[in-house]
Amino acid sequence: MTLYTRLANRVTEDEPRRLLRMLAAAEEGHIGRLTDLVTSLGEEGAGALGKVGFVAGLRQEAGKQLDEQLRDLGLSESSTVSELVRFAVRMETKAGGHYERLAVEAVDVRIRDFFAVLVEEEAGHAKQLENLREMLEASAPPS
């Protein structure tokens, strides 16, 4: 969510900006849906929540964590939008794999189904980001 918001603020074209804001909102929606699900599941929900690393990833920590991840890969705020979108694709793919493992481990069918939906959503986000990266690179002036 933090990365998509930052990227949306950097791009000048309307369509990429709209897509990035939509992805940021989708990620925010994951937080809300996960919170609702966990609240309804009591102890098992709290255990699943801990495995996702949800508490550590709340908004105030998200920017710091993002900066650390970018720095570890040699990226920063000054990296090109295309480089950052490539990073986002990798992160969506990684998240999908993480949710897939959590779905397999889940005992409660509601948790399993929730994570299965997130796997599909993350794959869709990765595809949208790949399309965005291609669009941005096609519209970039030749170097």
Each residue's pLDDT tens digit, 98-143: 999 989 988 888 888 988 988 999 999 999 999 988 888 888 777 6
Residues 83, 75: contact at Cβ < 8 Å? yes
Higher pLDDT, 127 or 13: 127
For residue 38, give every residue at least 6 positions away whose Cβ sits within 8 Å of its Cβ, in sequence order, or none: 45, 46, 48, 49, 54
Each residue's pLDDT tens digit, 17-52: 899 999 988 888 877 777 777 777 777 666 666 665
In whole numbers, what is the pLDDT of the chain averaged over residues?
82
- Specify burial of residue 86 (Cβ count, 10 A radius: 0-12, 13-18, 19+): middle
Cβ neighbours of 135 (radius 10 Å): 15
Domains of the chain in sequence order: 2-139 (1.20.1260)
In the chain, DSSP assigns E strands to none
Residue 33, CB-side half-sphere exposure with 13 Å CA sphere: 14
Nearest to 135 by CA among 11, 37, 25, 50: 11
